[in-house]
Amino acid sequence: MIKLQTKNGHDWQGFSRILEIMSFVEEIEESEPEEVREAADDLCELPPTPGQTMSLEEVVFWAGVATGMELWRQAEEETLDPATAEKMLVFSSIFSHSIRNAIVDMALGQLEPDSRATWLKLRDR
């Protein structure tokens, strides 16, 4: 499991955007094309001063998205063999699951003890 630590609220902004994008990807199949376009427009809108308001976590995440899309394109064009593409998909899926859990655990660490116990019970369901 990946361990994440943050000392300021600015980092939370990046992590919350990462979870927002991950949720968007998971829900694409159930969404209408117009809903997908609107969500993508919102997600891909740069803030007025991105160099000062985007966290390193968010920038690295978007770099990963770009790399994944390029990898997919290479697989579609059969530049990358199917076995290698599948191996990279499995490997990246493990990290995707791990980062989501790490962000949730980090958020739980910031909650008060009573709230944390309630959240853990809900998460385990």
Confidence check: pLDDT of 123 > 70: no
Q: How many CA atoms lie within 13 A of 116 on its CB side?
A: 10
What's the start-to-end Cα distance of the chain, in Å? Answer: 20
User: pLDDT value at position 1?
Assistant: 43
**Domains of the chain: which residue ranges?**
9-124
Q: Going by C-beta distance under 8 Å and a sequence separation of 6 or more, which residues neighbour residue 26?
A: none
Helix residue spans in 1-125 (DSSP H): 9-27, 33-43, 50-53, 56-76, 82-110, 113-124
pLDDT band at residue 37 under the 50/70/90 scheme: very high
Q: Quick one: CA dihedral 29, 30, 36, 39, positive or negative?
A: negative
Percent of the chain at pLDDT exceeding 70: 74
pLDDT tens string 42-91: 988 888 888 877 888 888 888 888 998 899 899 999 999 999 999 988 98
Residue 74 in contact with residue 80, Cβ under 8 Å? yes
Residue 71 and residue 79: Cα distance in Å, rounded? 9
Instruction: Return the half-sphere exposure (C-beta side, CA atoms, 13 A cut-off) of residue 114.
Output: 0
| pLDDT above 80 for 120 | no
pLDDT at 74: 92
Mean pLDDT of 91-99: 82
Q: What percent of the chain has pLDDT over 90?
A: 21
